[in-house]
Amino acid sequence: MTRNDYIHQVLHPYLDAPDTPDKPRRGDRTLAGQFQQQGVPLDLIEHAIALASLRRALRPASAAPLEPIRSLAYLRPLIKQLRRTGIDPSYRYYVAERYVNLKV
């Protein structure tokens, strides 16, 4: 996969997620390229996008409203954590199912 293909594969689901920008920033493209250089699997990034979106959506109604996500960098700590701890396949499936329902 080329660098541009990888960047597109990262940015497409990111921009499609709730509370994200309509267009990527230059820094988003740069960070996506860095993820490729670091060998971050695309499915891990997609899981991080889904998990972050679910966490935001499932916050208690009494919690203060969150600002929209302005940068792919918002996901960096979660991606780092997921790389370190791994993802249980059944949890990955659970998050994916909940995320699909969130976007409907």
Residue extents of the structural domains in the chain: 3-103
Q: Which class for 14: exposed (0-12), middle (13-18), buried (19 or more C-beta within 10 A)?
A: buried
User: Can you give the pLDDT at residue 102?
Assistant: 80
Q: Closest by alpha carbon to 102, among 30, 53, 63? A: 53
Which residues, 6+ apart, have CB-to-CB distance to 32 below 8 Å? Answer: 6, 7, 10, 11, 72
User: Can you give the pLDDT at residue 103?
Assistant: 67
pLDDT digit string (tens) for 1-21?
Answer: 999 999 999 999 999 999 999
Mean per-residue pLDDT over the chain, rounded: 94
- Reading phi first (left if > 0) and then psi (alpha if -120 to 50, else beta), residue 67 is in beta
Residue 25, Cβ neighbours under 10 Å: how many? 13
Predicted confidence (pLDDT) at residue 89 exceeds the cutoff of 80 = yes
Over residues 26-39, mean pLDDT: 97
